[in-house]
Amino acid sequence: GQQVMQIPQYQHVQEGEDFTTYCNSSTTLSNIQWYKQRPGGHPVFLIQLVKSGEVKKQKRLTFQFGEAKKNSSLHITATQTTDVGTYFCAGQSGNTGKLIFGQGTTLQVKP
Amino acid sequence: SAVISQKPSRDICQRGTSLTIQCQVDSQVTMMFWYRQQPGQSLTLIATANQGSEATYESGFVIDKFPISRPNLTFSTLTVSNMSPEDSSIYLCSVVSGQKNTGELFFGEGSRLTVL
């Protein structure tokens, strides 16, 4: 079945450093979504990428969708302590609506 | 957007018992999903709750263990049956807003179950 792999599992950075997490799917995706889960909270939607090669920005966050629509990345510039949490990519295939989540990358930011 | 109320928010259960989790959405939605998140792990899809028909289960999950009801377009329940400590987890209800089949998922706050 469809698998979504995400690396790294953990990342510790000093405040102000950049951070990147990578996501790879075993199958071509119709879209990919990114979620953030704060400790003790539930996943919250960040963004959805649909088009091949798409790049979207949200302030310090940059999201990319690969040309083959099988990989994606999230890059955070100049991390802040508020960026702490686990970032999940989630791939969607076809029109079933269901999302397959990657393992997540847990970001710790040292002030 | 969609606002999801999920209860119980947490419970401590005895081995061998069953617990039903309720999920109420503030609007009619076509797609409802149940996920499990074990401690420190990712989200694993249990099943898609279909209105008016049986739920569609993912590999590794069966109806006898996780019976699901979906009586209407705003409500669903997930029962965790004959619980064992391995079922200790957070169970999350999620929906795609409105009548769409694709798009962002909205999650409930989750039900944290501890099985002793």
Concatenated DSSP letters for A32-86? EEEEEE-TTS--EEEEEE-STT-EEEETTEEEEE-TTSSEEEEEESS--GGG-EE
pLDDT at position B65, please? Answer: 97
Give the mean pLDDT of chain B. Answer: 93
Q: Is there a contact between B48 and A43 if contact means CB atoms under 8 Å apart?
A: no
pLDDT digits (tens, 9 = 90+) for B30-48: 889 999 999 889 999 999 9
Confidence check: pLDDT of A49 > 70: yes
Confidence check: pLDDT of A106 > 70: yes
* Residue whose tokens read 């083959």: A68
Name the CA radius of gyration of chain B, rounded.
Answer: 13
Q: Is there a contact between A42 and B92 if contact means CB atoms under 8 Å apart?
A: yes
Instruction: Tell me the average pLDDT across A91-101.
Output: 81
pLDDT at position A29, please? Answer: 93
Nearest beta carbon to residue B110 from set A42, A92, A100: A42
Report d(CA B111, CA B116) in Å as an integer. 16
Share of chain A above pLDDT 90, in %: 87
pLDDT digits (tens, 9 = 90+) for B89-109: 999 999 987 666 667 889 999
Instruction: Tell me the average pLDDT across A45-60.
Output: 96
Report d(CA B76, CA A100) in Å as an integer. 21
More confident residue, B33 or A2: B33
Report d(CA A89, CA A4) in Å as an integer. 8
Judged by average pLDDT, the poorest of A76-80, B38-42, B65-69 is B38-42
pLDDT at position B64, please? Answer: 97
Task: Give the SS3 label for residue B86.
Answer: helix
Give the burial string for A102-111 (b: 16+ CB within 10 Å, else e). bbbbbbebee
Paired residues of A22 in beta bridges: A7, A73
Query: Do B107 and B94 form a contact (C-beta atoms < 8 A)?
Result: yes
* Residue whose tokens read 């949490």: A85
Confidence check: pLDDT of A96 > 80: no
Confidence check: pLDDT of A98 > 90: no
Nearest beta carbon to residue A100 from set B30, B45, B104: B45
pLDDT at position A107, please? Answer: 97
Q: Is there a contact between B101 and A88 if contact means CB atoms under 8 Å apart?
A: no
Report d(CA A65, CA B84) in Å as an integer. 40
pLDDT at position B98, please? Answer: 66
Nearest beta carbon to residue B42 from set A1, A42, A88: A88
B32, B34, B43: which to substitute to probe chain A, counting the most A Cβ within 10 Å? Answer: B43
pLDDT tier for residue A14 given thresholds of 50, 70 and 90? very high
Judged by average pLDDT, the poorest of A83-97, B41-55, B58-72, B92-106 is B92-106
